[in-house]
Structure 1
């Protein structure tokens, strides 16, 4: 950040870390908590994402029903997500059983909901599916709703590495009104309540913005969801 003195025109560069980034409610139930993950926790999660990416179902670029391939690469935990359904097996990449949902993410999800909404809401939150998305410099995510779940429990989103321009829209369609906000490494975004089914996406990443010391240069997004599903089969 650059500040210019009003009296002599002196220009001063200040590290962004010196200017607090306030908590924001983008819409009712849509809460951004900047810098929620400290650097140590970010490094731990980056290491875990690297391990999750290699199996038992490897990270891949999901293929859409129309044959198109998404620009992000994804790996699922708990329930395997593929457009637009969940399954206990990776039906689109060999059929292997998906990795169990980790306890570390269950605890983190509840802490995240507590940070956004308070402990009472967190006590009811039972995340059972995670989607880890990797964005290179060219990747993006089109406007979409998270509608495959059979519950309206909040969605928890954690950002690691390179910042992105995140677009949060309305619940009716992909068009305006929407808001563009920068999500940086360590940021928490939770959307539930009236905003649970809002359209959202990633317009672009911002190369060169990853913090030093977390061991990662691209962008990772960890999304936690409560599916409302049970059993071992698939669900649309």
Structure 2
């Protein structure tokens, strides 16, 4: 485990290959009820380079109405499927004293996808950690400060890695600079899945 002074915890290869495949099975079982869709930026209407879906009581959204959590899928209108127990077990194993998450944001990154620096600040209680699980191709993750323009640190997130943002780093700017295609055989079509667990409501 690697720890930053401001609270970030990085667990390299925390999820075994066997358990990664079990996570994928649970994700795929829920995709028919919550199909991946392409979010858009609030002000510009530009499509993001990732596709996403959610599991849990609510799902994170980005569209012309802004950033928010809502209880139904934007295309089907149906409630989000439950968060798989296999994913919750990772949260409780690493954060046994934290409230259980009610949102699991599932982002799929194709080979050319990126995610600009941003903060996770749409949740009601910003003291509860955010936990992310990486599956598939390696990504170059950049973690900054709580204000834009500060010093950043880069991590290569590989399949099975887990990162927790907490403490001061809970509101640190972070993003994905690039994907390294062909670095994992977990996903047959290539690319990367990132699962982000949050207590939002």
The answer to whether structure 1 residue 88 and structure 2 residue 42 are counterparts is no
In the TM superposition, what is the alpha-carbon distance from 1:155 to its structure 2 partner? 0.4
Instruction: State the aligned residue count.
Output: 193
In the TM superposition, what is the alpha-carbon distance from 1:45 to its structure 2 partner? 1.0
The answer to whether structure 1 residue 62 and structure 2 residue 39 are counterparts is yes
1:153 — aligned with what? Answer: 128
Runs of 4+ with deviation above 4 angstroms: none
2:179 — aligned with what? Answer: 205
TM-score (norm 2): 0.90
In structure 2, the residue corresponding to 1:123 is in which secondary structure? coil
1:220 — aligned with what? Answer: 193
- CA–CA distance in structure 1, aligned partners of residues 60 and 110 of structure 2: 20
- CA–CA distance in structure 1, aligned partners of residues 26 and 34 of structure 2: 14
The answer to whether structure 1 residue 185 and structure 2 residue 159 are counterparts is yes
1:119 — aligned with what? Answer: none
What does 1:1-236 correspond to in 2, within 5 Å? 23-54=1-32, 56-66=33-43, 67-78=45-56, 79-83=58-62, 84-90=67-73, 92-113=74-95, 122-151=96-125, 152-173=127-148, 175-210=149-184, 212=185, 214-216=186-188, 217-227=190-200, 229=201
RMSD: 1.5
TM-score (norm 1): 0.77
In structure 1, the residue corresponding to 2:4 is in which secondary structure? strand
- CA–CA distance in structure 2, aligned partners of residues 49 and 73 of structure 1: 14
